[in-house]
Amino acid sequence: MVKRSTDDLYGSKAHDLGRFEEPVLICGGAYSNLEAMIALFEAARKLAIPRERIIHTGDAIAYCADPAATAELLREHQVHTIQGNVETSLSAGLPDCDCGFNEGTLCDRLSAEWFAFADARISNDLRTWMGHLPHHLTLQMSGWRMRVVHGGAGEINRFIFASQPEADFEAEFSATEADMIIAGHSGIPFTRQSGARVWHNSGPLGLPANDGTPRAWFSVLTPELDGVRIDHHGLDYDHETARAKMIEAKVCREYAEALGTGIWPSVDILPDTEKRRAGVPLELSEPILCKVNAAGSR
């Protein structure tokens, strides 16, 4: 595996991770949830996936009670991670998370609460580390050219959901040479074919996916002879401890309750299709095979 620095199309930092011939674990949005982060590393151990084959799609810090400890654990394990909008804001000393929420919404109000909580607990050393993280990663697997982004390919805080029009995905792919875009930010796991290309979101690690269960989410990409297999994984973890710590710290009571109910306190960001699916447990147990001859020109 060769790692080298490259420039991405938008002038921001990107790193090329080279070619992978063994399974890679994808996760994102640890969201200051230390218990979920610990459970993720245990799941990786059981799957025999070492830390050098784990990728985090940004926003290690957000809603929950352990911003510094969660980020430190991610750094300690030397996981391949990119800047989410929260890392960018904290490292630059910005006054808010730049999450992309509409002003005055409940999401906007609660983000001000947890961002101030996290901002007061992050060391300058961690801010420097976050500021040096790349914005994008690129890699290859079984002939697929992949790009890891946080929100969208060109906007770090763009929300992309499975139900959006095909034109939205076409526009994202047209700005890159990737056959597969791996993203986070939106908080709901999905994999969607867009013509010959694939958009993949592993789902949130630090919050539930608004499906009425407390599960966190991650995914595994496995090289096959005829393409790449994608497996979505629900992750059980000690959400009660994570919830209790939030309540004790008096941070975002609404999201603390969501850790147990599996339902977000606000769905301002969701398209109508995803709003209608709130509280319905996700069924993502079937693997998805992205065949080599289905993707672009190679």
Looking at residue 293, its pLDDT comes to 63
Closest to 295 (Cα-Cα) out of 141, 189, 152, 188:
141
Half-sphere exposure of 192 (CA within 13 A, CB side): 18
Task: Please give the sequence-ordered ranges of beta strands (E in DSSP) within 70-203, or none if there are none.
Answer: 80-81, 136-141, 144-148, 180-183, 190-194, 197-201
Looking at residue 9, its pLDDT comes to 42
Domains of the chain: 4-294 (3.60.21.10)
Contact 222, 23 (CB under 8 A): yes
Looking at residue 165, its pLDDT comes to 96
Collect all residues with Cβ–Cβ distance below 8 Å to 55 and sequence separation of at least 6: 17, 24, 25, 26, 27, 79, 80, 81, 137, 148, 182
DSSP state of 102: P
Contact 289, 144 (CB under 8 A): no
pLDDT tens-digit series, residues 228-256:
999 999 999 999 999 999 999 999 999 99
Residue with tokens 């309750």: 257
Looking at residue 1, its pLDDT comes to 32
Q: Which residues of the chain have pLDDT under 70?
A: 1-13, 293-298
Collect all residues with Cβ–Cβ distance below 8 Å to 233 and sequence separation of at least 6: 43, 217, 218, 219, 220
Closest to 36 (Cα-Cα) out of 209, 157, 159:
209
Instruction: Take residue 222 and report the two structure tokens written for it.
Output: 């496995």
Looking at residue 12, its pLDDT comes to 55
Within 10 Å of residue 162's Cβ, how many Cβ atoms? Answer: 17
Instruction: Take residue 111 and report the two structure tokens written for it.
Output: 């983000």
Alpha helix (H) ranges present in 196-280? 239-249, 253-261, 272-276
Looking at residue 107, its pLDDT comes to 84
Could you please report the per-residue DSSP string of 164-215? S-HHHHHHHHHTS--SEEEE-SSSS-EEEEETTEEEEE---SSS--SSSS--
Looking at residue 189, its pLDDT comes to 98
Looking at residue 4, its pLDDT comes to 31
Looking at residue 20, its pLDDT comes to 97
Cα 194 to chain center, whole Å? 20
Contact 71, 239 (CB under 8 A): no
